[in-house]
Structure 1
Amino acid sequence: MALTREPSGSLASTFKEAKVRDYWGRRPDSPRRPRLLERLYPYIFNNPSRGSSFLQEFFAVSPGQLQDPFFSHAVRWGGGMRNLAFLSPEYRSCLSGYDPREELARWLPESFAGRDLLCRAQVLEIELFLAGFLLSSQGDRVAMAHSVEMRHPFLDYRVIDFAFRLPPHWKMRGLQEKYLLRRACRNLLPQRIASRAKHPYRAPVSALFSAASPADYVDDLLSGESLKASGYFDPDKVARLYQRVRETPPGTLGEFANMALMGVISTEILHRQFLASASYQGARRLTPDLVRYGAERKMEEREWRYCTDRP
């Protein structure tokens, strides 16, 4: 059994990026505001090749964007949208006219747009990230695969109820995240731990594609034959991306290229393990129910079976 702090970030608020971008959007011409992002991510921006131009391109925000109810996550989604360029023409055609934000808006409570910035960020993080990814893919599944049971004290309903009622200034003071949690534990932990800055773990994604690493299954998954068989991606575009990643010196390639290639590989693995397996082909297909804030409905056929009739 293991005790974990997850999901203290989603509840006590660690959305410093959104706060800085909101601050920047109200003064878009300020030369100092973009540099606040370097304080947030020193482990990313210590590369000389990724200086102020990267900050301006990736994180820049205009005053008009501040009214977007999804403002806190828009910069992440914008980066993800770039990955659609690697889909095959058939799949891009299937997604034409579909905006996932419209589907998301139907899940959210009616009062969502009127809440403060940090509260909206927390709701989105909990809906999209917490249960399906953080607690499942990175938590319970990994732990139970090694016979470890996880215990999440921050998921106690009383803690959640209290956290949701906190005003923004108790969630974050300046750029100090988890402000109230740090105050509550200041006499329980050594000062060096209670006051230290966040430094998340980072998966060594680029090492998977380097020439020195064993990449036999990577080459197989990214081969033209494999990509044509699954039909999700454009083999020529993926091949050019893979070649660029392999030829770029370690530590100089941007996050987008690495994560785009990892997305392709992950999709191909899932396809082989499940969709292309004989056991899945013989299983009866089910249409899931969606339950969001007490409103239950059936997913429409168009929503659930996007592109299942691929060539």
Structure 2
Amino acid sequence: MALTREPSGSLASTYKEAKVRDYWGRRPSSLRRPRLLERLYPYVFDNPARGRSFLQEFFAVSPEQLQDPFFSHSVRWGGGIRNLAFLSPEYRSCLSGYDPCEELARWLPESFAGRDLLCRAQVLEIELFLAGFLLSSQGDRVAMAHSVEMRHPFLDYRVIDFAFRLPAHWKMRGLQEKYFLRRACRGLLPRPIVSRGKHPYRAPVDALFTAAAPADYVDELLSGQSLKASGYFDADKVARLYRRVAEAPRGAVGEFANMALMGVLSTEILHRQFLASSSYRGGRKLRPDLVRYGAARKLDGRDSGGGTAPP
């Protein structure tokens, strides 16, 4: 059994990136804007030219974007939309006319748009990220695979109720996240621990795709034969991207290219392990409409039930 601080970030803080982008949009002539990037990501500036260029592009915002109810997350979603270009023509045609933001808006609380920036960011992070990814993919599944049971004190309903009632300035003071949690731990933990900044862990994605990387399964899964067999991606586009990433010097490839290639590779692994596996072919297939969020709806004359679908 293990005690974990997750999901203290989702309950006790709300997201410096959204706050900085909001400041950039409201004060476009401010001389303090570039300095905020260095305070946010001091570890990115090992290569100052590349780091600053990427971050300035990431945080660029126009005044009209400030009215977007999904402002806090839209910049990341925009990066993900670029990956659709690598889908095969058949799968791109399946998505034509579909807007996930419209579906998302239908099952969010009616009061969502009227909440403050940090509260909206918190709602989106909890609904889209907390249960299915942070607690499941990165938490319970990994732990239980090694016979470890997780305990989450920050998921106690009394802690959650208290955290949701706090005003935004208690969750984040300036760019300091988890402000009230740090205050609560004064005298309980050494000062360097209470006051230290956040440094996220990052997987060495680019190392997986270099020519020297000993990952023979990558070549096999990203081969034209494998990609055409699964049918999800445009094999020629992926091949060009893989070649460019593999031949580039270490650190010279941008975040978009690395993550796009990782998305393709992860999809191929899942397809190979589950959908193409003979042990899973006889399983009952779920209909997508039955696992969507939203109100009750009729499917083929049957009532699918209402409320929120299980993650």
Structure 1 length normalisation: TM-score?
Answer: 0.92
1:54-109: per-residue Cα shift (whole Å, max 9, x none)?
Answer: 23322101111111000000111111111111111111111111111111111201
Residues 263 and 299 (structure 1), Cα distance of their counterparts in 2 relative to 1, 3 Å cut: farther
1:93 aligned to 2:93?
yes
User: In the TM superposition, what are the counterparts of 1:208-227 in structure 2 within 5 Å?
Assistant: 208-227=208-227
Give the TM-score of the pair, scaled to structure 2. 0.92
In 2: Cα distance, 1:227 partner to 1:27 partner? 46
Instruction: Please say if 1:126 is aligned against 2:139.
Output: no
Structure 1 pair 291–252 and aligned structure 2 pair: CA distance change class (3 A): closer
Question: 1:273 Cα shift?
Answer: 1.1
List gaps (5 residues or longer) in structure 2.
Answer: 301-311
Within 2, Cα distance between the matches of 1:238 and 1:299? 37
Name the structure 2 match of 1:66.
66
1-structure distance, mates of 2:299, 2:257: 33
| d(CA) in 1 for partners of 2:297, 2:44 | 42
Unpaired stretches in structure 1, ≥5 consecutive residues? 301-311
Cα distance in structure 1, aligned partners of 2:88 and 2:189? 52
Corresponding residue of 1:182: 182
Equivalent residue runs for 1:223-242 within 5 Å:
223-242=223-242
Structure 1 stretch 201-210 or stretch 149-158: which is displaced more?
A: 201-210
- The amino acid across from 1:187 in the alignment is G
Q: Answer yes or no: is the 8 Å Cα contact 2:44–2:51 preserved in 1.
A: no
- By how many angstroms is 1:44 displaced? 2.3
**Cα 1:286–1:152 shift into 2, 3 Å:** same
Partner of residue 273, structure 1: 273
| Equivalent residue, structure 2, for 1:27 | 27
Matched, 1:155 2:152: no
Q: Which moved more, 1:13-22 or 1:127-136?
A: 13-22
* Equivalent runs, 1:289-304 vs 2, <5 Å: 289-290=291-292, 295-297=295-297
- Once residues 194 and 272 of structure 1 are traced to their aligned partners in structure 2, the CA distance between those partners, rounded to angstroms, is 45
1:289–1:296 Cα contact (<8 Å) kept? no
Aligned-CA RMSD value: 1.7
Letter in 2 for 1:244: R
Whether the 8 Å contact between 1:289 and 1:298 is mirrored in structure 2 is no
Q: Which moved more, 1:154-163 or 1:250-259?
A: 250-259
- Range 54-63 or range 235-244, more displaced: 54-63
Structure 2 residue identity aligned to 1:5:
R
The within-5 A match list for 1:186-197 is 186-197=186-197
Distance 1:257 1:290 in 2: 30
Offset at residue 183 of structure 1 (A): 0.3
Deviations 1:243-302 (A, max 9, x none): 11111111222111111100000000111111112233222223334456xx455689xx
- Structure 1 residue 38: deviation in Å? 2.2
Contact 1:49/1:252 (CA < 8 Å) preserved in 2?
no
Report the number of matched residues: 299
Do the aligned partners of 1:209 and 1:245 also contact (CA within 8 Å) in 2? Answer: yes
Cα displacement (A) at 1:234: 0.6
How far apart, CA to CA, are the structure 2 residues paired with 1:129 and 1:265?
21
Q: 1:51–1:30: structure 2 CA closer, same or farther, 3 Å change rule?
A: farther
Counterpart of 2:280 in 1: which secondary structure?
helix
Q: CA contact under 8 A between 2:275 and 2:281: conserved in structure 1?
A: yes
